[in-house]
A and B are shown apart, each in its own frame.
Chain A
Amino acid sequence: MNSTGAKLWSGAFLSVAMLLSGAANSSCDFDTDDADGPDFLDKIIQCEKQQGSRDKSAKTSRANNSAQITKLYGDGSLTASGIIERPVAAAGTLNHHANQSFVARQPYSLRPDAKFEESVTIAIQKLHLEMAHYCARGWDMQRQWTEPNGQQQGDFFLHYQFRCAGT
Chain B
Amino acid sequence: MNKLALSAAVAAAVGLASNSFADGPIDGTIYGKINVSVVNTDENSSDKWKLNSNASRLGVKGKTKITDGLYAVYKAEFEICVDDGDCKGQTFTQRNIMGGIRGSFGTVWAGKHDSPTKLAQKKIDLFNDLEGDIKNTFEGENRVSNIIAYTSPTVSGFSGTVAMIPGEGADVDGDGIDDTGLSDGVSYSLSYNKDNLYLAVAGDQDVDSQDLVRMVMQYKMDNLKLGAMYQQNEDNQGTKDESGFFVSAAYKMDKTTLKAQYGFIEDDVDGDEEETLSLGADYKLSKNTKAYIFYTDNTDSEVDSADDEASSFGVGMEHKF
Contacts and interface: CB of A to CB of B under 8 A. Distances in A.
Nearest to A13: B92
Nearest to B106: A41
Interface stretch (B2-10, B228-236, B252-260, B292-300): B2-10
B54 interface: no
B7 A14 contact: yes
B193 interface: yes
A117 interface: no
A76 interface: no
Contact of A35 (B15, B26, B28, B75): B75
Given A7-B3, A17-B30, A45-B63, A40 B119 contact: yes
Interface string B57-90: 1111111010001010101011000000000011
Given A1-B90, A82-B154, A153-B153, A41 B119 contact: no
B30 A13 contact: no
Interface residues of B, number: 63
Interface centre among A30, A36, A44, A153 (most CB of B within 10 A): A36
Interface in B73-121: 73, 75, 77-78, 89-92, 96, 100, 102, 104, 107, 109, 114, 116, 119-120
Q: Chain A contact residues: over half helix, strand or loop, or mixed?
A: helix
Interface string A1-33: 100101111111111111111011100101111
B320 A32 contact: yes
A80 interface: yes
B200 interface: yes
A19 B90 contact: no
Nearest to A47: B29
Contact of A32 (B32, B109, B155, B161): B32
B174 interface: no
A41 B151 contact: yes
B11 A18 contact: yes
Given A8-B6, A39-B159, A19 B122 contact: no
A96 B111 CA distance: 50
Given A11-B3, A35-B59, 9 more contacts: A16-B60, A24-B28, A24-B30, A33-B123, A38-B159, A44-B61, A44-B73, A52-B27, A55-B27
Interface of A: 1, 4, 6-21, 23-25, 28, 30-33, 35-42, 44-45, 47-48, 51-52, 55, 80, 82, 148, 150-153
